[in-house]
Amino acid sequence: MFLDYYNLSPLLMQIHAFLCSVMPEWLALTLEGLVVGVFILVMYAVLAIILIYMERKVCAAFQCRIGPNRVGGKGGLLQVPADVLKILTKEIISLKHSDHFLYALAPFLVILASILTFSCLPWNKGGEILHMNIGIFFVLAASSIGVLGILLAGWSSNSKYTLIGAVRSGAMIISYELSIGLSVLTMVVMSGAMDIQTIVEGQANGWNIFKGHIPAIMAFIIYLIAGNAEANRGPFDLAEAEQELTAGYHTEYSGMHFGFFYLAEYLNLFITAGIATTLFLGGWMPLHIAGLDGLNMVMDYIPGFVWFIGKTFFIVFLLMWIRWTFPRLRIDQVLTLEWKYLMPLSLVVLLLMTVCKVFGLTF
């Protein structure tokens, strides 16, 4: 199979075998763990910088502006790294009359949830970092740690604005997790697996969104709406709601503590898009159309991680487009949308998908 051109696992196995031959296995595993950990963190930071730069440029394009264009040449390429450096040097202000332990813990919980979910993304064939047979289940579980961090941040800051922001966020994220869970479940029914690599490999002869036709497309749209809400981005950014609550739950944070929230927000955007890519658009799987072997072969020459990142950034662009077009919803409207429309609809979609699967109506 041409697919194996870019399979990373033989290479990784060779490295592992080599390390085991020169040192005891526990040491080799520890060393590999360290390298992978550093790799994750570096990827995390680099992606955040790319996403922030992309957001600025995309937003500028929608708003008839140019965007960053001074620091680092005409494109303003060094603007975001400069901002990152700046935020690293900022003082972390500690508050009087706040719960210091929880206050300091909250940003780490948020970033921890984000990194755990991030590690599950299928970058390439054989390129997964956390691999388990209930991978998608783990993603759902890990991502919901984040809301705990948000609630703690709002509560421990001892400010009314942050409290309102945190309660809003809590109500919203817990509600929208239902829709996300149900639309993910729809795709699990379709692929018959909870393992992320198996789900991706099941799309070798056509992406799920094509194979699952109507129910898959509906689930995709529900997932995008709910995922956007999960990531706290406009038009669902009422937890931050700059115009109402100044900055919502992270009003009282400064320096890198604030930076963690900011970083997690952008990476959650990427993760939302990444999971959408995995479930609906084939993850790292190239575009395959059953029967057209010539095209499939050409597509296979493009490496998997290029496919994955390309598709993910396409969805990120879609989400940015939505953010910079719509005004913000109100809290009761957000909850009405979820409980009265999205949740019943996703139950129907799940049922529809099950019926399709049982009667073999999927491709």
Partner 1 sequence: MEIEKITSIIPEAEISQTGETVVKVPAEKLHQIAETLLNDKENPMDFLRDIVGMDWGEEGLGALYLLESTRTGARIILKAVTADREKALLPTVSDLWKTALIKEREVYDFFGICFLNHPDMRRIFLREDWIGYPMRKDYDMNSNPLRMDNEENADMTDEYFLRPDGTLEGRKNVVFGEDDFVVNIGPQHPSTHGVLRMRTSLDGENIRKIDPILGYIHRGIEKMNESLTYPQTLALTDRLDYLSAHQNRHALCMCIEKAAGIEVPERAQYIRTIMDELQRIDSHLLFYSCLVMDMGGLTPFFYGFREREMILDIFEETTGGRLIQNYNMIGGVQADIHPTFQQKVKDFIKHLRSVIQDYHNIFTSNVIADTRLKGVGVLSKEDAISLGCTGGTGRASGWANDVRKHHPYALYNKVDFKEIVYTEGDSFARYMVRMDEIMESCHIIEQLIDNIPEGEFRAKTKPIIKLPEGVFTSSVETSRGEFDVVLESHGDKVPYRLHYRSTGLPLVHAMDTVCRGAKIADLIAIGGTLDFVIPDIDR
Residues in contact with partner 1 by CB under 8 A are: 59, 62-65, 160-161, 164, 168, 234-235, 237-238, 241-246, 324-333
Nearer to partner 1, 116 or 238 (CB): 238
For residues 173 and 150, is the Cβ–Cβ distance under 8 A?
A: yes
CB of 271 to partner 1, least distance (A): 23
Nearer to partner 1, 9 or 254 (CB): 254
Residue bearing tokens 């699990």: 188
Nearer to partner 1, 153 or 164 (CB): 164
Tokens linked to 276 = 């959408």
CB of 230 to partner 1, least distance (A): 18
Q: How far apart are CA 251 and CA 245, in angstroms?
A: 8
* Alpha-carbon dihedral angle through residues 305, 43, 320, 335, given to the nearest 10 degrees: 110
Please list, residue by residue across 300-328, b when 16 or more beta carbons sit within 10 angstroms of its beta carbon and e when fewer do: beebbbebbbebbbebbeebbebbeeeeb
Question: How many C-beta atoms surround the C-beta of residue 263 within 10 A?
Answer: 25
For residues 226 and 345, is the Cβ–Cβ distance under 8 A?
A: no
CB of 181 to partner 1, least distance (A): 25
Q: How far apart are CA 1 and CA 274, in angstroms?
A: 25
CB of 96 to partner 1, least distance (A): 15
Nearer to partner 1, 237 or 265 (CB): 237
Please list, residue by residue across 233-244, b when 16 or more beta carbons sit within 10 angstroms of its beta carbon and e when fewer do: bbbbbbbbbeee
Tokens linked to 77 = 């390429």
CB of 163 to partner 1, least distance (A): 10
CB of 323 to partner 1, least distance (A): 9
Nearer to partner 1, 158 or 246 (CB): 246
Residue bearing tokens 């809301």: 147
CB of 34 to partner 1, least distance (A): 42
Nearer to partner 1, 169 or 186 (CB): 169
Nearer to partner 1, 18 or 326 (CB): 326
